[in-house]
């Protein structure tokens, strides 16, 4: 580990039943979406990341729309 990096924030452990459900979902997604499966397995094993280390889904969505050449402000109105 790079000594200049800060230690990761503590994660919120999931109840065992929730972790098992995420692991099962990951197994179902492995073939079609290996990246999603990896993320689900990580959350199941290590808990939820600290909110301060996460990117809001709205930002991820809007960034993706921009990559597709769609104005995020107009997507819900059907304006590209």
Residue of 38, 47, 57, 52 whose CA lies nearest to 18: 47
Distance between start and end Cα atoms, the chain: 44
Q: What are 11-67's pLDDT values in tens digits?
A: 889 899 999 998 998 989 888 888 889 989 999 999 988 888 888 889 988 998 899
CA–CA distance, 29 with 47 (Å, rounded to integer): 19
Residue 77: per-residue pLDDT: 59
The mean pLDDT value for 72-79 works out to 68
Rounded CA Rg of the chain: 17
Give Cα 63 to chain centroid, integer Å: 14
Listed in sequence order, the residues at least 6 apart from 49 whose beta carbon sits closer than 8 Å to its beta carbon are 9, 11, 43
């Amino acid at each position: 580990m790079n000594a200049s990096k800060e230690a990761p924030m503590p994660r919120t452990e999931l109840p065992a039943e929730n972790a098992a459900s995420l692991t099962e979902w990951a197994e179902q997604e492995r073939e079609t979406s290996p990246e999603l499966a990896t993320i689900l397995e990580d959350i199941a094993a290590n808990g939820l990341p600290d909110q301060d280390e996460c990117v809001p889904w709205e930002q991820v969505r809007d960034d993706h729309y921009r990559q597709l050449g769609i104005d995020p402000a107009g997507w819900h109105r059907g304006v590209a």
